[in-house]
A = this chain, B = another copy of it.
Amino acid sequence: MKVAFQGEAGAYSEQALLGHFGAVETLPCESFEAVFRAVHSGQCEAAMVPIENSLAGSIHQNYDLLLRNDLQIVGERFLRVCHCLIVLPGVARQDLRKAISHPQALGQCEAYLRGHGLQAEQGYDTAGSVKLLKASGARDTAAIASRRAAELHGMEILEEGIEDDPENYTRFLAIQQEPKAFQGEAKTSIVFTLKNQPGALFKAMSVFALRDLDLTKIESRPLQGSPWEYLFYIDFIGAIQEDTVRRALDHLGEYATMLRVLGSYPRFRADQG
């Protein structure tokens, strides 16, 4: 099995992918578009893409790509983003003057860097910064990336978990061309638009509340150029095969102008793999 992800070897996406799919072949891609193309064209059987981060929010671009490519969500995985301070073998803390990484990672370690008198230097990628550091041979510089990125390049970890806010999680989705059968508690993700009328969202939510279906996510996304029109994202507990869920979605159809089920898949449990 071959699974696509965005980024370089050692990226957090690759880590999530290996956690979910096990020891499969991985295909690094330059962009999310390229990841979806790889699955849509059949070059890969599956992909793993980030869909939301506890600090950076939902990645609407990947919702768009899901809708446009007509692929199925077949799984989810939460990964705690745990940044490591990575150096060339033998380099000691007191040798360091700079830290290089993706600007987002640098921002997430800002207090740590300030506290340790390390100057932030911006790179284009977390795992890529480790590769660059190794090639440069710089002994006054650390890279900030995942444990896996350090291990892949034979580098040393001086400290693990240097992010200022430990509540830094990314939710990843496993994507395939066809739905996959599974057992256990299910989650379903849908996207819809509503008629532009008063209380429309309240009515839409009633189809779940009246059937005791628990929501795990709700988000409105404004459609630009139409100040009162929105895409809504809802995730709820239940599978489309279940009677109650089918009735709720039928009911939602009475208010919706567009309704797409992105997939039903096993709910991720932290105690899994």
| A interface residue numbers (CB < 8 A to B) | 30-33, 52-61, 64, 78, 80, 102-103, 106-107, 110-111, 120, 122-125, 165, 167, 169, 198-199, 201-202, 205-206, 208-209, 212, 214-225, 228
Contact = CB atoms under 8 A, between A and B. Distances in A.
Contact of A220 (B32, B111, B124, B217): B217
A124 to B, nearest CB: 3
18 contacts: A31-B106, A32-B107, A54-B60, A54-B222, A55-B60, A56-B56, A57-B57, A64-B165, A80-B224, A124-B124, A167-B224, A169-B224, A198-B212, A198-B214, A199-B209, A215-B220, A216-B222, A219-B219
Given A55-B64, A167-B225, A201-B218, 16 more contacts: A31-B110, A33-B111, A57-B60, A57-B221, A61-B107, A80-B224, A122-B124, A123-B124, A124-B124, A167-B224, A198-B212, A199-B209, A205-B205, A215-B220, A217-B222, A218-B220
A176 to B, nearest CB: 23
A187 to B, nearest CB: 12
A56 B104 CA distance: 13
A161 to B, nearest CB: 14
Contacts of A124: 103, 122-124
Contacts of A223: 167
Interface of A is mostly: mixed
A121 to B, nearest CB: 9
A30 B120 contact: yes
A167 to B, nearest CB: 5
A58 B57 contact: yes
Nearest to A218: B220
A198 B236 CA distance: 13
A50 to B, nearest CB: 11
Contacts of A167: 223-225
A167 B228 CA distance: 15
Contact of A110 (B33, B56, B212): B33
A202 B209 contact: yes
A114 B135 CA distance: 28
Given A205-B205, A206-B202, A54 B217 contact: no
Contacts of A61: 55-56, 107
A54 B224 contact: yes
Given A103-B125, A199-B209, A209-B202, A221 B54 contact: yes
A67 to B, nearest CB: 13
Nearest to A121: B124
